[in-house]
Amino acid sequence: MSKVLPLRHLYLAIPRHLLVRPPYQPPQPLIHSDPTQPMLAFLVPLSLSPLPPLPTPRAAPRPPRRLIPQATAVTPSTSPAPSPAAPLFNWYDQWYPLAPLSDLCPTPTRIVLLSTPLVVWRAAAAWSVFHDRCPHRLAALSEGRLAEDGTLECAYHGWRFSPSGACARIPQLGPVRSPRACAKALPVLERGGLLFVWMGARAPRVDETPHSLEGDARARFVHSCFQRTLPLCFSTLLQNVLDPAHIHFAHHGFLGDRAQAAPIPIRVLSSSAAGFTADYDAGNVRLRFLPPCLVEIVTSTGQSFLYYAVPVRAGLVRTIAIRASARRVLFRAPAWADHMRRNLLLEQDLQLMRTQQEAMRTDAESEGRRDYSRAWGAYQMPASADRLVVEMRRWLENHAPEGEEWFAFGEGEVEEAGMRMEGHVKTCAVCARALKSLDAATVAAKGVAAGAAVVSVLAPEHAQRVACLVPTVIAAAVWAACARLRRGFE
Ligand code: FES
Ligand SMILES: [Fe+2]
């Protein structure tokens, strides 16, 4: 039987007695004294290297399809509402994590972000990210190949592009310098083990850096890094991460215990266009929402957790979860085993979140509305434990009231992404490698079992036949174990 751990917040396997400590004293202030940049200032490194120049000209990104024409009513909150003149949140002028660096391969790979297909590839020392369309006749550059001269070659007619996006060669024409022949390159940064991309039409300012664990003394050692694409609306996943009350029920027997459920007094400490900060468990758990897509949780026991909810497109979101601390851990389970456990926990939530979305979709369709992705009007949230979900809703309504595509539910084609193989294993270097080894072990075990069985039948002596049965049984047991383990990847 699984050991039941008394936990008080999301995914933390922390014994309860460790949480009852003197008042929490973070090593650095979570709220900066500069009221204009309260959240960003905490993570801005002391020295910033200049960003690579942007290719010119760069067209403005495709405007998002608006699903919600007007903001709906805002839940009463103690947080101040923005002034009427405050600009709305720009979802494009932001850094987004594309994937853990360890999961990326240098060959051209398509990754979708904000409903925009991108191609990620690496030549020599640096990663490049382009819009995944060739300027010639719009074929996907992710179908291309890495050429010998370190350029990306389009698979259709062989145009080649340098890492900056400049057209290096047109086989049918020779070298060209026209900006119209350039691929659209996006600014990228490697931070905290992740590859970040800037999606905006304008260049990022030097003080606009991605939120990551880089330079954070509380998170010197990363113990786990996990990504998975889920068939969910972006905001549904964010609500789940901001909901400590579900742990004892949705993860009963794994992370929680129904019998331990109790009120969770949550305090929202600050809220602005730059996100919000809250704490609970008598200040032992501090949480920040940092737009566009990060929830950071820090505990008084020295654990740091980053949960990115990266908007892919309608009905699809990618979660990137990182666990770190200031201290090294002597024993760690293999990464693939950690990923298997995380997949299991995510799927416990996934089932419930899908039912939530179905109910909201039914409500919206029965009323002839299209804004079902934020149809939270039917929620009843009287407990303090729901305070963070309320605050998330309030933040979206105040600062980003328009319904972009990634707030919508998906249609049938996203169903496959719910599978573990599609959503995680195929894009996880660790699990893909483990699966390959497992398949090789399965083939070897099958071969040994079959060979030993044949020998045991053909052996002339009874003693030889009996002796051959032993490797047959062992190999068959290994074969069965491999088959069982493989189901954990599917
Ligand atoms: S479409 Fe890319 S070279 Fe023609
Ligand atoms: Fe994995």
Tokens linked to 318: 């990618």
Which of 256-260, 323-327, 376-380 shows the highest mean pLDDT? 256-260
d(CA 408, CA 69): 14
Tokens linked to 135: 């300027």
The alpha carbon of 111 and the centre of ligand 2 are apart by a number of angstroms equal to 17
Collapse the DSSP code of 49 into the 3-class scheme (helix H, G, I; strand E, B; otherwise coil) and give the result: coil
Q: Is residue 477 part of a domain?
A: yes
Assess whether pLDDT exceeds 60 at residue 31.
Answer: no
Structure ipTM: 0.94
Query: Residue 59's pLDDT is what?
Result: 39
| Closest C-alpha to ligand 1, atom 3 | 157
Query: Residue 311's pLDDT is what?
Result: 95
Mean pLDDT, range 27-33, rounded to an integer: 34
For residues 402 and 221, the model is more confident at 221
Length of the chain: 490
Assess whether pLDDT exceeds 70 at residue 203.
Answer: yes
The alpha carbon of 354 and the centre of ligand 2 are apart by a number of angstroms equal to 23
Q: What is the pLDDT of residues 429-486, one digit of tens each?
A: 899 999 999 999 999 999 998 888 888 888 888 888 888 888 889 999 999 999 999 8
How many domains does the chain contain in total?
A: 3
d(CA 369, CA 362): 10
Ligand 1 pocket (Cβ < 6 Å) reads 134, 136-137, 139, 154, 156-159
Assess whether pLDDT exceeds 60 at residue 183.
Answer: yes
The DSSP code for 65 is P
Q: Is residue 208 part of a domain?
A: no
Say which range, 39-43, 114-118, 265-269, 378-382, has the weakest mean pLDDT. 39-43
Which of 84-88, 299-303, 456-460 shows the highest mean pLDDT? 299-303
Ligand 1 pocket, mutate which of 119, 152, 156 (most atoms under 8 A from CB)? 156
Report whether 387 contacts 78 (CB < 8 A): no
Atom of ligand 1 nearest to the CA of 137: 1
Assess whether pLDDT exceeds 80 at residue 371.
Answer: no
Query: Residue 345's pLDDT is what?
Result: 93
Query: Residue 470's pLDDT is what?
Result: 87
Q: How confident is the model at residue 364 (pLDDT cuts 50, 70, 90)?
A: confident
195 and 231 share one domain: no
| Closest C-alpha to ligand 1, atom 1 | 137
Q: Is residue 396 part of a domain?
A: yes
Q: Is residue 467 part of a domain?
A: yes
The alpha carbon of 59 and the centre of ligand 1 are apart by a number of angstroms equal to 19
Ligand 1 pocket, mutate which of 157, 167, 173, 176 (most atoms under 8 A from CB)? 157
Question: Among residues 168, 199, 230, which one ends one of the domains?
Answer: 199
177 and 134 share one domain: yes
Q: How confident is the model at residue 219 (pLDDT cuts 50, 70, 90)?
A: confident
101 and 157 share one domain: yes
Per the prediction, the chain carries an average pLDDT of 81
Give the CATH number, domain containing residue 151: 2.102.10.10
58 and 158 share one domain: no
From the CA of 173, the nearest ligand is 1
What distance, in Å, lies between the first and last C-alpha atoms of the chain?
23
| Closest C-alpha to ligand 1, atom 4 | 157
Assess whether pLDDT exceeds 50 at residue 65.
Answer: no
The alpha carbon of 156 and the centre of ligand 1 are apart by a number of angstroms equal to 5
Atom of ligand 1 nearest to the CA of 158: 3
406 and 453 share one domain: no
Say which range, 277-291, 370-384, 424-438, has the weakest mean pLDDT. 370-384
Q: What is the pLDDT of residues 303-341, one digit of tens each?
A: 999 999 999 998 899 999 999 988 888 788 899 999 999
462 and 327 share one domain: no
The alpha carbon of 174 and the centre of ligand 1 are apart by a number of angstroms equal to 14
Q: In this prediction, what percent of the chain has a pLDDT beyond 70?
A: 80
347 and 378 share one domain: yes
| 450: enclosing H helix or E strand | helix 429-458
Ligand 1 pocket, mutate which of 154, 170, 173 (most atoms under 8 A from CB)? 154
Radius of gyration of the chain (CA): 25
The alpha carbon of 131 and the centre of ligand 1 are apart by a number of angstroms equal to 14
455 and 407 share one domain: no
d(CA 234, CA 431): 25
Domain that holds residue 443: 431-487
154 and 274 share one domain: no
Query: Residue 414's pLDDT is what?
Result: 64
Q: Is residue 179 part of a domain?
A: yes
Is the dihedral angle over the CA atoms 125, 130, 132, 135 positive or is it negative?
negative
Question: Among residues 404, 427, 450, which one ends one of the domains?
Answer: 427
The alpha carbon of 407 and the centre of ligand 1 are apart by a number of angstroms equal to 33
Mean pLDDT, range 290-305, rounded to an integer: 94
Q: Is residue 87 part of a domain?
A: no
Query: Residue 312's pLDDT is what?
Result: 94
Give the CATH number, domain containing residue 401: 3.90.380
Q: What is the pLDDT of residues 47-62, one digit of tens each?
A: 333 333 333 333 334 4
From the CA of 427, the nearest ligand is 2
Query: Residue 218's pLDDT is what?
Result: 76
Query: Residue 188's pLDDT is what?
Result: 96
283 and 379 share one domain: yes
d(CA 319, CA 234): 10
Query: Residue 459's pLDDT is what?
Result: 82
Write the CA distances from 429 to 226, 281, 422, 426, 486, integer angstroms: 11, 36, 13, 8, 16
Q: What is the pLDDT of residues 133-169, one digit of tens each?
A: 999 999 999 999 999 999 999 999 999 999 999 999 9
336 and 308 share one domain: yes
Q: Is residue 346 part of a domain?
A: yes
Q: Is residue 209 part of a domain?
A: no
Question: Among residues 199, 228, 253, which one ends one of the domains?
Answer: 199
376 and 388 share one domain: yes
Query: Residue 372's pLDDT is what?
Result: 66
d(CA 489, CA 427): 12
Atom of ligand 1 nearest to the CA of 170: 3
Report whether 379 contacts 66 (CB < 8 A): no
Q: Measure the CA angle with vertex 404, ends 59 and 378; round to 5°.
A: 175
